[in-house]
Each structure stands twice: as structure tokens, then as C-alpha cells.
Amino acid sequence: MTHKNIFIKRKNDFQNLIISLPASKSISNRALIIEALSKGDSELFNLSSARDTQTMLRLLKSTEQVLDVLDAGTTMRFLTAFFTINGHNKTLTGSNRMKQRPIGILVDALRAIGGDIDYLENENYPPIAINGFSDLNLKSLSIKGDVSSQYISALMMIAPLLSNGLIIHLEGKIGSRPYLEMTASVMSSFGVNVSFLGQTMDIRPQSYKGCEYVIEPDWSAASYWYSFVALSNSSSITIKGLRLPSIQGDCVLVEMMKSLGVDTTFTDKGAILSKTTFVKDFSFDFTDCPDLAQTVAVICAVKGIRIKMTGLESLRIKETDRISALQQELKKIGAELIQHSNFWSVSPTNNIPKEVFINTYDDHRMAMAFAPLAMLMDVNIEDPDVVNKSYPGFWEDLKLVGITSVRS
């Protein structure tokens, strides 16, 4: 049964609660592609339950010619490169929103190394037909560094299988560098070396080797629990298995959230989140961690924190236009996200309402970023099942902390 809304009753503080996060879908999706490219048996442990990852797993095993990635951007981009390098004849399509998300830069790069790929509807956008591959022995190519890191990661993972490998020159500012470093780290675990110095990646011809690989808990998912603590009076939560160091860029949460009112203590059980003091003025560059921007904007909007946000450009081409979505929904609680010439700022609310209805725009992170407002008000959230994309157990985990919710 599909529910249109979920109503979350305002919650008082909670103490000493324990939460288990889903595994990282970003790491899971990379590990699945590399496992499929590797020679030898591999075993993946703690694979993500996220819909994106389960879609990747299903399509890698599929014998069908037409494959529907739904709304999974990573799956679309990684499978485009995977099926190209293997010379498979496949058609990749997706949701209406997926057909609006550009893929031209990746297709151009794959064509340059020998891919035969056609657009079936609109130039530079899915759906696409992959018709085969002939290795053109290209030694290097250049790609803009500020495009989606998924394009570059897709090229990285297939590069060792090319006859000359591939040198990738990143032009200009590099966006989401931690995601590229994550890709290199997972590749290394499967026996492939990536030299990533400055603006250049040098990936020589190599073979992936099978291994046993354990996926980390998802730091992006952790951000919502940081938000619950930040918006409480004196709550504390233990997140099982969350540790540093991590190959996920979103682990920057630990330092970021110190300024926003949450301290992190690591034990052998995981990370303990607890209240601390917060600043009134804050600035942060989200270039390397764009998935945290919505959560942080909501926190600042209701805590009276004046924030300067840079590096939000990629939010325009996510599951929705997240800039526009944030602007619309923050207005409902009396706050504003204001665009300036080269940064954004949040004007906090002066009057927190008793209840709010949040539209989610088919975006899982809109639902979860605004859910912690339940520490301050009753919250109605549209399309609760949208969280299945990355955190299927989110609403059940809210019940564990005593948050009452009713679907309608």
C-alpha cells in the first residue's frame, strides 16, 4: 500500500538510544561494479538495503535488453560505463526525472575510448542505447572536474580494463573529490592501483582481484540523527559501528556539527552524539559533501544560525532541483534560502510554527532533512516511501527513538 503522507508528532528529548544505520549505498554501488569486473570470487559484506543498490544488484544480474534504473543516478552512470566496456548491447532508461539528468559528458568520454552509444530521445540525456565497444587505445582524456563525480568514477572503474589504461585530466575546480578518492580506495581493495595527484589520475592496465569487502555504515544517513540531537534540548544517541577514519567524505559531519551543537565521542560500540554549544554565525563549503546541505540548512533555519553556504551548484541536478525545493519548504517555517552572486545564505525563522507540511519533490533527502523538525513541531511529510532510495528503515528507526508517526 502506498501512503501519501506521514504525520510525525512532536517529540521530547531522548537519552542513551542506540541506532543501526544502513550501509553506504555509494560504497556498495562501487563495490558491486568492481566485483562484476573482477577476476576471481569476491564476497561483499553489509551491502546496502537502499533501493538504488538493490536496483544495481538486480540489473547487473539481468539478461533483459532494456534496463530501467528508476531514479538511481549512480546506477545509470556506472552501468553505462560497465556495459560499454563489456561490449553489451543494452538500453538504459529511467524515471521522468532521470531523463532530465544529463549524461552527455560521460557518453562523450566513453565514445572517445571506443564506445558506440546512441541517444534515443533527447541529445545528452537518457534513455541511451549501448551498441558495443572497440578499444581505440586512447591513452588520456580530459574532463571537467566540477561535473558530477559519478561520471569520473564510472570512467575510473573501467580504466584498468583498457589496453593502455587511462590518464584522466580533471580541468578546473574538482567537485566532490572525496567521492573520487572513495572510488580509488574501493578499487585498491580489489587490487588495482590509482595514482591521483593534483588534477591527474593515472590508471594503468591491471586486473581486479576477488576479495572479501565490508561496506561501512552510511555517514550521509548519520546526518539526520545529528540533526535530531542538534534540534533537541539534551538528547543523546549512539550510532552503532560508525567510526573514523572513513572513506566517505560525509564524515566531515564530526567537525561540522561541533559548530552546530553536537559533539561526537567514539567508543568500541560506535559514535555517541550529544549536545554541546553552537555558534551563531557559520560558513561552510559543501563542494565535497553536497548531500549534507539540506540537513544543515534546516538546522540553521530553526536554531537561529546565520550560515554562508558555498559549493551548492550540483544540487540543481540531483533527484530534484534541491535549491528550489529548499527555498519553497523553508518558507513554510518562516526561513529563507537566499542566493547571492557566489554563495547562498539562510535567513533563520523568527517564529517556529506548531505544525508544518513538507513536500518532498521525489527526493529522499528532502524527507529526511526536514523530519528532525519533529523535535520542535508536528510535521507532515509527503510521500514517506521516498526514503527507500537510500534509507528504507528510516521511519521504523524513528519509532525506536519514541517518535510517533501515522501514515495516511
Q: Which residues are catalytic?
A: 291
What does the buried/exposed string (b/e) look like for 160-179 if buried means 16 or more CB atoms within 10 Å of the residue's CB? Answer: bbbebbbbbebeeebbbbbb
Are the C-beta atoms of 74 and 52 separated by less than 8 Å?
yes
User: Alpha helix (H) ranges present in 86-190?
Assistant: 104-113, 149-158, 177-189
CA 166 to chain centre: 26
- Number of helical H runs and strand E runs in the chain: 12, 22
Coil vs helix vs strand at 133: strand
386 sits in the region (left: phi over 0; alpha: psi -120 to 50; else beta) called alpha
Cell of 383: 510521500
Cell of 140: 588520456
Q: How far apart are CA 246 and CA 24, in angstroms?
A: 11
